Every structure is written in C-alpha cells, then in structure tokens.
Amino acid sequence: MQKTKLGISLKNSYPLPVKEVIKIIAQSGFDALSPVNKNGTDITEVVNTAKEYGIILQSLHTPSSRSVDMWKGDKECNALGMAQMTESLELCHKYEIPIMVAHIWQGYEPVDIPKEAGIENHGRLIEKAKEYGVKIAYENTEGEDYLFALLEHFKNNNTVGFCWDSGHELCYNSGKDLLKKFGDQLIMTHLNDNNGCSDPKGKLSWLDDLHLLPGDGICDWNYNIERLKKAKRQDILNFELSIESKPNQHENDKYCEMPLEEYFSTVYNIACNLRDEYDLS
C-alpha cells in the first residue's frame, strides 16, 4: 500500500516571509499545504511558491467571522456571510484547490437560532461549489448542533464532507466521538492537541484551543488513529498547529523558541510516526 501523504496548515504567524516558510516546509518532507484565507495571506504567492517546490495545495480555509450570519433570518446578514464564504470558494476555483474548509459557527454562549435559513444558505453555497468541482469540508467547532444539522441534511451530497479537528473535539465538543458519527463523510483532517476544557463547569473558551503538536497535550493518539482507520480513508493527513501561545499562556512558547527548520522537522517526525500507525492494516 502506498504511504499516506502528509500535509500542514499554513498560518500567518511565522517570523519569516511566506516563501521562506514554504521552502522550509517542503525541505522538511511535507507533501501538501493548506493555507488560510485571511488578512495578510497572499494566496497567489502561496500557490506559486507551493508549485515551485512541488507541494500539493490540499485545501483553503475560509474566514469564520461571519459564519453565524449564514443562519440568521436576516437577508443582509445572510448576504455578508455568503460573501465571505464565496470569496474563498472563488479562490479555490481560480487556483484549483480541491477543498474549502469552513466553520459553521463562531461563539461560545448558547444561542438558539432556527436552522432552516442556514441550511438553505449553505445549500446555495454547496451548489456553487459543485459547479466549480470544489468540495466543502465543514469543521467541528463550537456550535456543534449546527454542524450536525448540515452534515445530516447533506449526507448524500458528494460535494459536502467533514473536516475533523482532533483538538476541537477535545476542548469544544466534550470529547464526543465525532469520527464515529461522521467518519463516512471525512475528507479533511486538522490534527492537533490540547489540554481539554479548562473550566470545571465546562464553559467553552477559545483559550483552550491550543493547536499543540500531537503528544504535547492530553489527546489519546492511539485512540485517535484507531478511529481514523475506521473512517473514510484519507490520501493526506493534515496537521493544523500553532507556534503562538494564547494571551497570558505559555503552552506554545517552546515552539517559538525553535528555529523554523527545527520546528517543522520535529512536526514532520511526529507526523511520520502517526502516519505509519495509520497505514498499518
């Protein structure tokens, strides 16, 4: 069996220009790259540099700041949310990036917004994605009820899939086995680690979403890989990690202290070990 390829999400927080970062990523051994479409990202430069070093562009992550607007019963809000999603979809189409990763919610306080408008709005987005030949991978974040509504409604739509974030499952989804629930729809991974929900009452916080290297948090990686093996087979395992600590926290500080060559080499070695376990029959 051919080895599964390894990919990494490209953040904007590195201390070197993006061309140098991509060169280091390529030299470290990674096969694929997944940039984030947000302020400060020159997608054209990322695409051209990835091609220069022979790296696959696996996905583009759309911004999430207007994801809730897709669900509101207000046409102006819907239009703002749709515009944000569509901008990234157009970039996927332009640069032949096969997957657009999207959050379906942003916010940590319980809110009861009817789901009908969101399903209708996402349905229009999905139709455009189908026209372009782009798949949309909806990611588990906070607001999981809205994710469940979408993935269940579009379960038989080949344009729609699941992006499993291992860290989000731990700190936002109370450890629910979302791979068991949506494993047959899996088309993208965001593999990372954290220390779970820090609030004893279970109140969600973005401060817990650390995106540590696998093994630097409390995720059970034997459990994770065994579940991945039972889900839809992936050609690329993608890792979404951060070198920056959250405000007034220090969990990621050691990554910042490493030269990027050492950091990405360390990530690649960890990724190889997990890939080898994944590839075992």
The phi and psi torsions of 182 (rounded to 5 degrees) equal -125, 20
Q: Give the lowest-confidence range in 61-65, 105-109, 128-132, 230-234.
A: 105-109
Contact partners, residue 140, CB within 8 Å, separation at least 6: 147, 162, 163, 164, 165, 168, 169, 172, 173, 178
pLDDT of 256 higher than 80: yes
Mean per-residue pLDDT of the chain = 96
The predicted model gives 237-246 an average pLDDT of 97
Amino acid at 198: S
Task: State residue 281's pLDDT score.
Answer: 66
Residue ranges covered by each domain of the chain: 5-279
The predicted model scores a pTM of 0.97
Contact 13, 244 (CB under 8 A): yes
Task: State residue 127's pLDDT score.
Answer: 98
> In whole angstroms, what is the distance from residue 89 CA to residue 125 CA?
9
Fold (CATH) for 5-279: TIM Barrel (3.20.20)
